[in-house]
Amino acid sequence: MRLDFAPMEGLTTSLFRQLHHEYFPGVDRYYIPFVSPTKEHKFTAKDLREIAPEYNEGIQAVPQLLSKVADDVIWAVWKLQRMGYAEVNINLGCPSGTVTAKKKGSGMLSDLQALDQFLDGIFSGVSCAISVKTRLGVEDPEEFDAILEIYNRYPIHELIIHPRVRKDFYKHPIRTEEFEKALQKSKNPVCFNGGIVTASDFQACEQRFPQVNSIMIGQGLIADPFLAGKIRSGTSSDVKILREFHDRLFDGYSERFGDRNNAMRRMKELWFYLSHSFADCDSHRKDLLKARDVDSYRQIVSSIFSQLNLLDECPGGW
């Protein structure tokens, strides 16, 4: 079964993807965090640092688009095809308030007529494989029956279902029973996304839903970068490898941003998850997230790597 790395804004950057692929084998495809095409029909320099082929060389990458305007998506898909991408993903799952307030992401799930018109416009105007990342609805998972009827009208390359509704954000437990119902009714291939943080989680999902195309993991792979290897070949965590990965990522961000303090802030986002793979890390995590300068940050990081043990399995709980 295919293992995909979910797009996570601010975390799974092109630099992160390249280094993760180098140090931690086992991921089949990396989904690129969304870019938002606009009516100007021009990718920004920031967009291109994520989607340009040279930033994804040597890995299987799938770009993701966030929009509510079919014409803008069609333009972006055409440009991405010319870059060499065979698949483009549409984000209909993001629960962020700033996104949903604009009726984008999972905010589109509240207006089924607009959703249908949006998808009709896209599938009438592109030849590229289009996958869709979705939630079960906005307020109640019972909304998904009507949403799925719309998805079933279109030749979606893969329907990536995160089995929560928008109001759940990432706190409510995964709604596994609702996913099972959706899987039975979908006319398109389905991917499971959400709640996988250990190899046993992956294997349980694989056994329960053998008909799914793939399993997508996001937070679990950030918290435990070794997770794909544990799933594929039973490899173990190695603090030396993780330290080298961390140092190269920090140095890479420092060079990219031209500022080590900005690099530190980006790395803190990573540590919000990564710290959960270390035993007894609560106090170190708090100190690290409060660090105001790079020297303090590096001292705390060195203490984590030298004094704390890596857990065999990440317990989650963020």
What strand order describes the sheet that includes 159-162? 61-62, 29-31, 2-5, 214-217, 190-193, 159-162, 129-135, 87-92, 64-65
Flag whether pLDDT at 317 surpasses 90.
no
Average pLDDT over residues 6-22: 98
pLDDT in tens, 245-293: 999 999 999 999 999 999 999 999 999 999 999 999 999 999 999 999 9
pLDDT in tens, 188-198: 999 999 999 99
Flag whether pLDDT at 124 surpasses 90.
yes
CB atoms within 10 A of CB 146: 12
Confidence category of residue 118, pLDDT binned at 50, 70, 90: very high
pLDDT of residue 84: 97
Average pLDDT over residues 153-170: 97
| CA of residue 112 relative to chain centroid, distance | 25
